[in-house]
Amino acid sequence: MKRLTTLLVIVIGICQMVQAQAFWLGADISGTTELEAQGKQLRNAKGEPRENTALMRELGLNAVRLRVWVDPVEHGNFCNKEDVVRMALRAKDWGMALMIDFHYSDWWADPGQQNIPAQWKSMTYEEMKQALANHTREVLEAIKEAGVDVCWVQVGNETTHGFLWPVGRAEENMRQYAGLTDAGYQAVKAVYPKAEVIIHLDGGCDPKRYDFIFDGLKKYKARFDMIGLSVYPYWDMKANLTKSWQETVEKFTANINRMWTKYHKPLMVVEAGVEVKKPVEGKQIMVAIIHASKNNTNGHCKGVFYWAPELEDQYPLGAFQDGKPTAIMEAFTEASFK
């Protein structure tokens, strides 16, 4: 029995499936080359050695997300332009749709830190817009020259408070955040005109933060094509946003439907995760997240991506133990047959 997604890839091509209303099952596997450099070997449930991209495909996923850092020289140069191109080629080889996630920082960017790259720190706002556009184009052009198509591009990662602080901090400089965002949008379209530009926030269950950012972007006429959400019941409960995973699922689903009505943009869960130490419950939660995203949003949510399933050690929300996928990943495998 062949999966419908595989048949669609053969017939109409990967990124054209975006317009064909496919539902995407993906994972952010940006840390793959770093794991390989550490000598770690991933295996499938049978214990057979697998490269990470191949393993994701074997598990039924049809898309890959890769982050980009500007100049991570102090962090092994992982997730720089060259590293991303290498991983993008692997995604192509396995017939996976590709999402590129620009952090616009030399290392992690998230709601708690959006640090300006070292080479950009002395720049004015206008100079920073140009640097952002140049960086975006250069990375995407390198991917395109390697013969890889890109379906989606995130302009910023979890930009709940903007990015490139303080220049693009949304609370103080919404106009500048919007201007930087639009510079990224234009750069993406210059290389991949059909790629969908995503603006991604955390806390998918909390409508207030989405209204703040997207009302601001709309006010200052920043363009985007899709809204990206993070959905982590574990962190939502830690932050007292919800009292249970069921409430997270209910609230993020309602938020998706509300935002479609308000902004008329498609949406996607670009990050999700559950507790790896509770794989049975974790599978139950991921089944619920995928089901709600696909079936309870009138087709407006286009997919679900798990963040760093292969990550173990100190990270509590991976989906692997001892280098092998847990029951959590079965949620994706089972969904791929539906």
Active site members: 158, 271
d(CA 242, CA 172): 28
Q: CB-based burial of residue 121 (10 Å sphere; 0-12 exposed, 13-18 middle, 19+ buried)?
A: exposed
Q: Return the sign of the alpha-carbon dihedral for residues 109, 110, 114, 115.
A: negative
Closest CA to 61 of 314, 315, 307, 323: 307
d(CA 282, CA 271): 15
| One-character DSSP codes across 124-143 | -HHHHHHHHHHHHHHHHHHH
Q: Are strands 42-43 and 49-50 parallel, antiparallel or unpaired?
A: antiparallel
Contact (Cβ atoms closer than 8 angstroms) between residue 248 and residue 292: no
Q: Report the phi/psi class of residue 147: left, alpha or beta, with left for phi > 0 and alpha for psi in -120 to 50.
A: left
Instruction: Give the distance between the most distant pair of CA atoms in the chain.
Output: 57
Q: Report the phi/psi class of residue 37: left, alpha or beta, with left for phi > 0 and alpha for psi in -120 to 50.
A: alpha
Amino acid at position 324, single letter: K
SS3 (DSSP) at 91: helix
